[in-house]
Amino acid sequence: MASSKIYIVRHAESEHNVSKDFSQLDPPLTALGFEQARQLSQTIPDASKNVAIIFCSPLRRAIQTTLAGFSDILDKRYFPNDSGQGAHGGATLLVEADLQERSDLPCDTGSSLEDLKKAFPHLEFDGLDESWPAKTGRYGPDDSDVRDRAVRVTGLLEKWAEKLNDKDRKDVVVVTHGVFMKFLTRDHDIDLPKAGWRSYGLRKEEEGGRRVLLPISNR
């Protein structure tokens, strides 16, 4: 039986990518960014048939990329009733704070939980608490903190891959950020374009038995 594929996705173009104004708190996508995002589900092979879970960073640009990019795959409950978006029994969306970007610049710092609920009223933020945007402790910008986050995310992906092992739909999408994905994939040369993606499988390391992400063919 085939195992889960993990699609690591970089968010689409956001305002600070263009303006280079890194003092803007949690910037949204540009108009071009929304166009880039809308192509995602068409480029990931058989996404509508195979994707079961989509994880995304709580930063606005990642949430917007996810909703625009997978509006035909995600479950209908994540969209307004009259929008015509979403699929009956569609993929589950899980917002995961560990997927946020590394730095403590305002552009990489998230909005308050209250503001996120207002901006995205149909989403569930059960995994976030009021203090989640603080770039301290488990979400600090130091290498050791970010590596720890990457290990936690890999463990989460392993858990879900095991849950999905006997399901028809078992693939997982992860919408995150350019620097954090270097830690997650353990590939510091990775440089995906905006709304770009790469596919991975979970494999055990020879030493220690811990699972890691290893790239597989993008098809």
Give the tens place of pLDDT for each residue, 5-56: 999 999 999 999 999 999 999 999 999 999 999 999 889 989 999 999 999 9
Which domains does the chain show, CATH number per domain? 6-215 (3.40.50.1240)
Q: pTM above 0.75?
A: yes
Residues 6+ apart with CB under 8 A from 82: none
Residue with tokens 């909005």: 111
Give the tens place of pLDDT for each residue, 180-201: 999 999 999 999 999 999 999 9
Structure tokens at 105: 């610049």
Structure tokens at 92: 């589950």
From first CA to last CA, the distance across the chain in angstroms is 18
Structure tokens at 138: 């488990």
